[in-house]
Amino acid sequence: MISTLPKWVEVGAFILALVAGFVNAVGLLSFEHQSVSHLSGTATLLGTGFLTLPFQHTLHLLGILLSFLFGSSIAGFLLHGSTLKLGKHYDTALFLESALLLVTLLLLTKGSFYGHFFASMACGLQNALATTYSGAIIIGFILGGTLGSLLFLKYHFMALLFPASICLLISLVYRLYSKQHH
């Protein structure tokens, strides 16, 4: 087992954690107050919701969980491996995450709760990216959540342009880096 992470992994993990916390903060502060990346609470609500919540709300929670799973599956399809390795399709996955966040922005600004599903799908995709290094999850959501909260208060759903742009930028930087070092 490697005792220290390569520098590009450390930087990438920090930025991805920032993005995940940011996206979750926007979900929590939006009109449905829905967590889209920290899903243990959502799973608990779903479990109890089968008996206590209106059917539509229960379906919404199920949609959040299934969207996260689908996003993770996309990453598994693109990366089809369990170890982090330069040259895999991380750029494609990050580009897709950026696109999913832009769809989220469009849907949420129109008042559509379907935006939560796309945000959760983006978070599932990113979570699978973060877990490809020795099977370990690299966590650092607090800073992103704080920044996301502040920007959401000022810019509302337009704040999602920030993490979408970060994912797009990382995608491009990774593509260039990968071509130079592969």
Burial degree of 35 (CB within 10 A; 0-12, 13-18, 19+): buried
Q: Which has the minimum average pLDDT: 33-37, 93-97, 164-168? A: 33-37
Q: Compute the distance between CA of residue 127 and CA of residue 119 in angstroms, rounded to an integer.
A: 12
Tokens of 77: 């399809």
Q: How many CB atoms lie within 10 A of CB 77?
A: 11
pLDDT category of residue 2 using cuts at 50, 70 and 90 = low
pLDDT category of residue 47 using cuts at 50, 70 and 90 = confident
Tell me the per-residue pLDDT of 60-102, one tens digit each, with 9 for 90 and over.
989 999 999 999 899 888 877 655 556 678 889 899 999 999 9
The architecture of the domain spanning 9-181 is: Up-down Bundle (1.20)
- 61, 141 Cβ separation under 8 angstroms: no
Residues in Cβ contact with 160 at an 8 Å cutoff, skipping those fewer than 6 apart:
23, 26, 101, 102, 104, 105, 108
pLDDT value, residue 117: 95
Rounded to two decimals, the pTM is 0.79
